[in-house]
Amino acid sequence: MQQISSNSNKTIKWVKKLSCDQKQRKMEKFAVGETKKVFCTLCEIKKQKFIKIFVTKRFFENNRVLLKKFTNILIILNDHLFKKISNLKSPDGIVFVVPWEVTKLNFKKEGNYFGIVDLQSPNNLGAIIRSIFAFNIDGLFLIGNCVDIFHPEVIRASMGYVFQIPVMFFKEFYSFLKFVKNNKINLLALANKKNALALNKYKMKTNNCFLLGNEGNGLKKEIINQCHQTLKIEIENVESLNVIAVASIISYYLKHENNKN
């Protein structure tokens, strides 16, 4: 166990850079997370390792049993210094560094998947991952210019399940489209269009990929035109739903339909 009290300490500078710099995270293959809930989730994942754990004195005193087996990588900071490395306005007292590891997606043709194109919000991506993991979706395709999957906010919003969900990356849509055609995937665009089919009227098949667009513009017309079917969630009083809500509703619907079958 170690205590640090200096802003200029190399370890403090290192964890701050990891937290803020995507290139640094990818280069070192480390990610930064925080909050006790996420930490406890990762402790339950047996393969999950921790590189460094930073805590306040108060957090340490209140969680000695939780931290007992991590004393060799534990660093205690005063409140002022801890706030320097936290991304939260009201941190609960723990920040940790973990290996940057993506769960490989082993594609199976009877599965259900989500594809997300150009998603920019780390909070949205994390919340989507949490929902699709909760309802046993088989994997996630991240397409185009999406936010870093190991952004600290993604880790926090996903409650740590970002390390559990199988992911495959595609730099641009047409390489993904080639993968779709080669694997005979039913590509289903989610868009609130007049001619779209209501989700509950779609005759569910296997090998589905539900495609979502980004927060501001949704899916581009040329992408929708490449999909086998356009689906919508029928709503009233509002023009559209947040992408998190769409992913959660579809995930629940899929689980319900699979249980019926």
Domain boundaries defined on the chain: 2-99, 103-260
Per-residue pLDDT 10s for the chain (261 aa) are: 899 888 889 999 999 999 999 999 999 999 999 999 999 999 998 678 999 999 999 999 999 999 999 999 999 999 999 999 999 999 999 999 999 888 999 888 888 999 999 999 999 999 999 999 999 999 999 999 999 999 999 999 999 999 999 999 999 999 999 999 999 999 999 988 888 999 888 887 778 999 999 877 889 999 999 999 999 988 777 777 889 999 999 999 888 776 565
Q: How far is CA 165 from CA 147, 158, 159, 233, in A?
A: 16, 10, 12, 24
The CATH fold assigned to 103-260 is Alpha/beta knot (3.40.1280)
**Does the domain at residues 2-99 carry the CATH identifier 1.20.1090.10?**
no
